[in-house]
Structure 1
Amino acid sequence: MSSFLNPAQDAPAPAQQPMIVDGDQANFMADVIEASRELPVLVDFWATWCGPCKTLTPALEKVTKAQGGRVKLVKIDVDKNRELVTQLARMGLPMQSVPTVVAFWQGQIADTFSGALPESELKRFVEALLKLAGSAAPAVDLIAQGKTLLEQGAAEQAAQYFAAALQEDQEKPEAWGGLSRALLALGDEHQAAEVLTQVPGKIAEHAEIAGARSALALAQEGRKAQSAMAGLSQRIAVDPDDHEARYELASALNASGARAEAAAALLEIVQRDRAWNEDAARLQLLKFFEAWGMDDPATMAARRKLSALLFR
């Protein structure tokens, strides 16, 4: 399963504030106690010689990253911070062994565990902490924020929002489609395709899922055509009726993000020879519309031009 399919996020901290930091005694109050008044903080007490720590810490980092800013992780090397560990032990924390994880909320200890838990249990631990903090967010809000981030080019953050929405509601096609598109924008076609295989059957044919599938297929087509863009343009310059070259060029342009130009190439084919290759240009254009989304400006503009050509 995609590493992004993890718990939700609601109000991410500012981008400049790191959500995973190495802590020490000097910064414990600021990094943990004060920070926990704004969002839950996990403190991972570890040691270089600790075998289980080498398993737990990466898993904690993964779960924390998936929150997109709703949880902070502070990692503290017990050997470099012995005085701090002693002080915490005097407060009643079970600091006899590592790894030990302590959750803080509102300046107080909220929960704790020792030992290397599997990732599934770490997720449940964090989910319980988020519920305690009252920071759960409706899936619809997470999806809306994910779409905004994706439009702004912040694909990794967008993926976290969509994954967060799925943690809240597995039957949101917009979240599945958005997550796949975000991963595709990150250049991870394999993971984008993997996400689509996990869509629940009852929503597998939803327009959002179909659009994501089309976007993935077009990206794969375009990737192959991109390397030949110069040659395709040259072929068209020599023979404007080389519809095969123009068709492939449209795929390459779309993969490059040049949606208007990609649509224009296909519209040119429709104008010159609508019946070419069994109406392939029009059908590919419809596939573009599906992948881009029906409310995308490029879709709306090209749809108007297509209508003008078909009904003139």
Structure 2
Amino acid sequence: MVTIFNTETPDAGAGNGSIPVGDIIKDSDTNNFSTDVIDQSTKIPVVVDFWAPWCGPCKQLSPTLDKLAREYGGKIQLVKINVDENQELATQMRVQSIPMVVAFKDGQPVDGFAGALPESQLRQFFEKLTGSEGSPIEQALEKASMMIANGDTQNAAEIYSQILAQDPKNAASHAGVAKCLIEAEGIEKAQAYLKGLDADILNKEEVKSVLAAIDLEHASTDTEETDSLRQKLATNPDDPQLRYDLAIAFYGDGCSEEAINILVELVKTHKTWNEEAARAQLLKIFEALGHSDPITIEGRRKLSVVIFS
């Protein structure tokens, strides 16, 4: 079994550098600050969030802090202090504006910031604090992705399940489960799984990518074989439907670049054909491949040249 989180209660004084996942986030106060923050920071880094119920930016920051703390799976403790109920402590910590976040290691404050930072900067803050490249969840997602590429869908699915146990809305893990189902049990099982997800998860880029890939797979299944389409196109080179079908067939054969090149040329010569079907199919391929994929980036560049020329 592949395990990525510490779910066992450690022995007292074990100093194993992590805490049970159920204790990752906790509320504290002036009386317990020394134990919850100072003492605990000698074992693992502690991030203290000074907040108040009336503070709008606090409400923006808090969910992201919670999310990242859970991603680190017990490698970081997140402690929340309500400044309205602990004004003396807030004064001692020189809290002048909220939200204010202070990181502790070895009993001392080592870093901090004020205001609601975006998630990208918060990730950098956590990475600097732990000295790691990405959270355990990010590292686990990368490992699971490599497993899928190597055909090990069983262990990949196990990792995704562990992640979802900690972060039920983790879109990348839901997308990963769907990919495992496609490989192990077929498209229908993956579709059934995706249909059960909330709308906010279905709108995430990672899940939309899998949905686009499924749509393209269905389209390629309904298309003639590549060789047959090539022969027909040889006698009717300007037929937009044949060129479109050939692009779909190429994609189904795993030839994404060839499919993109045909569709880009079709946009150039028959832009409005079939309600701009070629452009719509290109966008679906880009989504299926992922926006950061080099093939997508080059394909978008070619499409832009055609559109704006």
- TM-score normalised by L of structure 1: 0.52
CA contact (8 A) 1:253 1:259 kept: yes
**Does residue 10 of structure 1 match 2:4?**
yes
Q: Verify the 8 A CA contact 2:2 2:155 in the aligned structure 1.
A: no
Task: Map 1:148-167 to 2 at 5 A.
Answer: 148-152=146-150, 154-167=152-165
Cα distance change, pair 271–309 in 1 and its aligned pair in 2 (3 A): same
1:105 corresponds in structure 2 to none
1:221 equivalent among 209, 219, 222:
219
Query: What one-letter code is carried by the residue in structure 2 that aligns with 1:264?
Result: N
User: 1:220 and 1:146 mapped to 2: Cα distance?
Assistant: 25
For the residues of structure 2 that align with 1:161 and 1:233, how far apart are their CA atoms? 43
Residue 214 (structure 2) pairs with residue 205 (structure 1): no
Q: Shift in Å at residue 142 of structure 1?
A: 2.2
- 8 Å CA contact 2:212–2:285 kept in 1: the answer is yes
Equivalent pairs counted in the alignment come to 180
Distance 1:260 1:237, change over 3 A: same
The letter for the 2-side match of 1:238 is T
The aligned residue for residue 97 of structure 2 is none
Asked if 1:183 is matched to 2:181, the reply is yes
User: Compared with structure 1, are the counterparts of its residues 218 and 142 closer, same or farther at alpha carbon in structure 2 (3 Å cutoff)?
Assistant: same
Q: Does the CA-based 8 Å contact 1:173-1:208 persist in structure 2?
A: yes
Provide the secondary structure at the position in 1 that maps to 2:174.
Answer: helix
Match of 1:275 in 2: 272
Aligned residue number for residue 290 of structure 1: 287
1:286 Cα deviation after fit? 0.3
Q: Return 5+ residue gaps in structure 2 as ranges.
A: 6-134
1:251-302 alpha-carbon deviations (Å, 9 max, x no partner): 2221221111111121121122111111110111001111110011211111
User: Structure 2: how far apart are the matches of 1:151 and 1:257?
Assistant: 14
2:247/2:262 contact within 8 Å kept: yes
Query: Within the alignment, does 1:260 sit opposite 2:257 as a pair?
Result: yes
| Secondary structure at 1:10 match in 2 | coil
Kept in 2: contact 1:8–1:164 (CA 8 A): no
Could you tell me which amino acid in structure 2 is paired with residue 265 of structure 1?
I
Gaps of 5+ in 1: 1-6, 12-136
Contact 1:142–1:164 (Cα < 8 Å) also in 2? no
Letter in 2 for 1:278: E
1:143 to 117, 141, 144: 141
Structure 1's 168 and 310: CA in aligned 2 closer, same or farther, altered over 3 A?
A: same
Aligned pairs for 1:297-312 within 5 A:
297-312=294-309
For 1:230, which of 219, 227, 231 is the aligned residue?
227
Judge conservation of contact 1:162–1:175 (CA < 8 Å) in 2: yes
1:166 Cα deviation after fit: 1.9
- Quote the Cα distance in structure 2 between the aligned partners of 1:202 and 1:277: 31
In structure 1, the partner of 2:237 is 240
The answer as to whether partners of 1:222 and 1:255 remain within 8 angstroms in 2 is: yes
Q: Where does residue 117 of structure 2 map in the other structure?
A: none
Offset of residue 156 of structure 1: 4.5
Counterpart residue identity of residue 196, structure 1: L
1:220 is aligned with what amino acid? H
Normalised by the length of structure 2, the TM-score is: 0.53
In 2: Cα distance, 1:244 partner to 1:250 partner: 10
User: Match for 1:228: what amino acid?
Assistant: E
SS in 2 for 1:269: helix
Cα RMSD (Å): 2.4
Asked if 2 retains the 8 angstrom alpha-carbon contact of 1:8 and 1:163, the reply is no
Residue by residue over 1:33-77, the C-alpha shift from the partner in whole angstroms, topping out at 9 and shown as x without a partner, is xxxxxxxxxxxxxxxxxxxxxxxxxxxxxxxxxxxxxxxxxxxxx
Residues 247, 266 of structure 1: 8 Å contact kept: yes
Partner deviation per Cα, 1:107-156 (whole Å, 9 max, x = no partner): xxxxxxxxxxxxxxxxxxxxxxxxxxxxxx94333222222333455444
Higher relative contact order (CA 8 A, sep 6+): 1
Separation in 2 of the partners of 1:296 and 1:193?
A: 24
**By how many angstroms is 1:160 displaced?**
3.3
Distance 1:153 1:310, change over 3 A: farther
Identity of aligned residues (%): 30
